[in-house]
Chains A and B, each alone.
Chain A
């Protein structure tokens, strides 16, 4: 999509159209403005944009709606990019988790401010000041308190249980919002007549697992899949609906016609039937100099040479 990228880059302006909760841009509680920060995306391991609001107390993720052929009219100006940004609350634990997992290789209890460090994304330490960060660490790590200091060590078991609960909550949300999770429906605007009860629980679990996997590493996603006792899909074909009608009976399938007889030794071609008078007269016609019918369907090589 090289051209697309070019287009959006040249369209960068100083203004964006953003949908955000009031709490995200609230500056009254403390004087600090909400700030966009680049942090390591736990799923892709690359940079993604996030927003820290109310003096780093709240974390928001930034998603952008982007489709070709859109522009904005904003007041008396035209904005070339038709992007719509969404700033939505996010659990900071997702972003802290990769650092915990990484430090777990040392297998020690460590203070969090030593764990959450990243030369590439120095802003990551600000994640620890989010309200629910330190208080919810027990979902994914074991804790030890020595005097005033707290030490943490990553626990996969705890993490998987925590993620499982996330998946379950996502399933509830999916059902409430009537989001079609079944295979085959690829359009979100296509309203299904079928009620949600037509989807089985596994469809929901798999869909929710996929959604949560957008926020965790691939390894963790696989571990979660087995923790949810969902078999891994090996080939993409399995996700497609059966292309043919299922057979109605359990009887073994038999070929309608037996072609093997043509291969057997005793098969001999029947002698041609007697020709009609018309066919006989046609056969007598002088065909010298006539092109066979098939020559009219041969490739156009000759025509090009002319």
Chain B
């Protein structure tokens, strides 16, 4: 697995893939999808797919792939080597979603939530396998959100493929386990050798697991908070852990799509209360006594100054 491409620009999404084994283009195949790094506030989220001919499911099982969560890091690395070596019949592909991609998706004007992002990434990877000529017949997915809805969505998108969405699919189907190992290994490697784009000098790499509950992660987040910029791109800004810290310790930043309390916003926007239209005195007071600035200036937001 060569992560150098991602390391060189880890602010965007990046795809890594193995060679597609020839048998996968001729024989009916099954495919597993799983993700790693959904919860952490630090680092990328990685989506992985693994595929092999339906007839070789047994051989995949023989590799003793199991749910990545039950394995140590070393075991995972070893298993990944085995999967990669079995390139005569097993193929894999990964989509690394950088923390920056996650932040900007979730915090953009039209919100794009993590579930939608996850679904679209999974769909993209299945499409990649199809485009590469893999004869897909079965797809197994560990669920994100309600399983039935997700299964329905995928079935509609890929007619002719039997889609199975199950919670804990990574311990039920070897092909999903294999995908989960690929994803987890990629995530571990990406986080370990994180190449900070920001000029931070020597960065303390002791950030723990990256999960919001980890005391090491919390301490690291406290340490690397910049009052103006917040965090390096390594941090998912959209996580409430990061948000709360920035709100408390950073400089207040106002955006024009900030949601404000109704009354405050109304006051700021110079809106009048609906009630004012019904009161007796409203008629006389609505006329603004100060002369209106010409629209040439108001349209361009230009004003006179009276002091510097």
Contacts and interface: CB of A to CB of B under 8 A. Distances in A.
A and B from one complex:
yes
Interface of A: 1-4, 12, 16, 36, 38, 41, 43-44, 46-49, 62-69, 78, 85-86, 179, 186-188, 207, 210-211, 213-214, 218
B294 A186 contact: no
A26 B268 CA distance: 40
B301 interface: yes
Interface string B74-100: 000000000000000000000000000
Contact of B268 (A4, A38, A62, A66): A4
B302 A187 contact: no
Given A3-B267, A43-B291, A210-B295, A64 B256 contact: no
The DSSP consensus for interface residues of chain B is loop
Q: Which of B228, B267, B301, B307 has the most chain A CB atoms closer than 10 A to its own CB?
A: B301
Contacts of A67: 301
Contacts of B255: 69
Given A64-B302, A218-B291, A49 B307 contact: yes
B223 interface: no
B301 A44 contact: no
Contact of A211 (B296, B301, B304): B296
B299 A63 contact: no
B293 A85 contact: no
A169 to B, nearest CB: 15
B4 interface: no
A41 B303 CA distance: 13
B294 A64 contact: no
Contacts of B293: 214
Q: Which of B264, B270, B295, B297 has the most chain A CB atoms closer than 10 A to its own CB?
A: B295
Interface residues of B, number: 24
A44 B302 CA distance: 15
Given A1-B268, A1-B270, A43-B291, A186 B302 contact: no
B306 interface: yes
Nearest to A188: B299
23 contacts: A3-B264, A3-B268, A12-B308, A36-B308, A38-B306, A46-B306, A63-B304, A64-B302, A64-B304, A64-B305, A65-B300, A65-B302, A67-B301, A69-B254, A78-B228, A179-B296, A186-B299, A207-B296, A210-B294, A213-B294, A214-B293, A214-B294, A218-B291
B256 A68 contact: yes
B113 to A, nearest CB: 24
B295 A186 contact: yes
The DSSP consensus for interface residues of chain A is mixed
Given A47-B307, A207-B296, 11 more contacts: A2-B267, A3-B264, A38-B306, A46-B306, A49-B305, A62-B305, A64-B303, A66-B303, A179-B296, A211-B296, A214-B293
A144 to B, nearest CB: 35
Closest 8 CB pairs of A and B: A49-B305, A188-B299, A69-B256, A210-B294, A47-B306, A48-B304, A67-B301, A63-B302
Nearest to A16: B308
Contacts of B297: 63, 214
A41 B297 CA distance: 16
A188 B300 contact: yes
A188 to B, nearest CB: 4
Interface string B233-257: 0000000000000000000001110
A92 B296 CA distance: 21
Nearest to B254: A69
